[in-house]
Amino acid sequence: MSNDNTPTSAPTLAPSSADIKRKRQLLLLATGCCVAIAAYSAYWLLVARYQVDTDNAYVQGNIVQITPQIGGTVIAVEADDTDMVKAGQRLIRLDPADARIALDQAEAQLAETVREVRSLFTANAALAAGVDSRKSDLARTQTELARLSDDLARRKPLVDGGAVSREEVLHLQTAVDNAKSAESAAAANLAEAREQLAKNQSLTENTTPETHPRVLAAAAKVRDAWLANQRLGIVAPIAGMVAKRSVQVGQRVAGGTPLMAVVPLNQLWVDANFKESQLEDLRIGQPVELTADSYGQSLKYRGTVAGLAAGTGAAFSLLPAQNATGNWIKIVQRVPVRIQLDPAQLAEHPLRVGLSMNVTVDVHDKSGHSVAEAGKTAPAATTQVFDDLDKAADARVNKIVSEHLGHAVKLQRAG
């Protein structure tokens, strides 16, 4: 038996194709990860770090409550939910019977008052003529008294010489006494006439029949009744879509009762609730890109940051959180940011109040302000549908006054 002590070399294993494939895959994966990291880094440096986004955003708008200005019974409902209405279009009619009676009474009272006031001004001339007549009577009695007094003074010295009888002197004395009584009565009548004139003039002083306080008071009642009669037809103050209709025919409603709402769909905006940690770079005027769940991601809305709210949503809630307790957990707060939408896009692709939106704000430009510097110079909302009611009431009052004064006048309001 022979022993083979010759050393043998270790066998060399050639790499298998599986190992080569695995190494290639790992290299490709590492390369892909590096490329992805580089691409994301470039995206973050160039784009992502200049974008602030949230999906906690909802469409908001003005919900104009339609309420009656006076009470009454509903006899017709002329608009329903989802109807589009124009500004000034009648929505509801109330029973006009009571308002018409009140208007007729007010107009009759105004006509009577105008005639009474006209008689006051006419009486001034009559009373002034009476004063002149009393002056003439007083002057006549004074002249007669002076004549008789002179005759008496001349004849008294002649009684002792017998040139004039004592009886004649007594007759003259009686005539003088009667003249004095007549003078006193004439003076009293003059004083009474002057008092009546002054009293009547105090009712018409510094005024005209058209601007007399009694006429103005009666005219105000006519205006009130006229407006109440016109307000029986409840109109839409703005154009929009009818929503939340709750009124029914035959219902007795009081002034101020909500009957329905009108939402102007061309005046919508978005309230985006950003976390407090996202507010650092937000500025008024920055461009915004929005998408609505109702239209999908393909439709991009354009908007701008209109302003940041004065506080968080929790601060304005009905029951604000009380954090001054030992049992406290920090919760990231959100601040509403108003986004103004492009009116042209809003008209082409209408939105509805309450819809969800995804909001992305481009914060490249940080030159704007986070707080508005000045208030609005124009009203946020306005309507002109009620302006003509007051003018029509004035025209009706002026017509009644002119008819009962007998000439054309224009009644001016006091104040």
**pLDDT by residue for the chain (415 residues), tens digit each?**
445 555 555 555 556 777 777 788 888 888 888 888 887 777 666 656 778 899 999 999 999 999 999 999 999 999 999 999 999 999 999 999 999 999 999 999 999 999 888 888 888 788 888 888 888 888 888 888 788 788 777 767 766 666 667 777 687 778 878 888 888 888 888 888 888 878 877 777 888 888 888 889 999 999 999 999 999 999 999 999 999 999 999 999 999 999 999 999 999 999 999 999 999 989 999 999 999 989 988 999 999 999 999 988 888 888 777 777 777 788 888 999 999 999 999 999 999 999 999 999 998 888 888 888 776 678 888 888 888 888 888 888 888 888 888 653 444 444 3
Give pLDDT, residue 330.
83
For the chain, domain boundaries: 64-97+232-262, 98-209
Give pLDDT, residue 162.
64
Rounded to whole angstroms, the Cα distance separating 62 from 385 reads 18
Q: Are 281 and 305 in contact (CB under 8 A)?
A: no
* Sheet-wide strand order for 90-94: 233-235, 90-94, 72-77, 252-253
Give pLDDT, residue 102.
93
Helix (H) or strand (E) holding 234: strand 233-235
Give pLDDT, residue 338.
95
Q: Are 77 and 296 in contact (CB under 8 A)?
A: no
Per DSSP, the three-state class of 249 is: coil
How do beta strands 356-362 and 287-292 pair? antiparallel
Q: What is the pTM of this model?
A: 0.71
Per DSSP, the three-state class of 218 is: helix
Fold designation for 64-97+232-262: OB fold (Dihydrolipoamide Acetyltransferase, E2P) (2.40.50)
Kindly report the number of other CB atoms within 10 A of residue 402's CB atom. Answer: 16
In 47-83, which ranges are continuous DSSP H helix?
none
Give pLDDT, residue 355.
95
Give pLDDT, residue 339.
96
Give pLDDT, residue 23.
80
Q: What Å distances lie between residue 144 and 2, 137, 157, 208, CA to CA?
A: 196, 11, 21, 42
Give pLDDT, residue 239.
94
Q: What Å distances lie between residue 328 and 54, 73, 312, CA to CA?
A: 26, 55, 18
Nearest to 362 by CA among 401, 316, 304: 304
In 156-165, which ranges are continuous DSSP H helix?
none
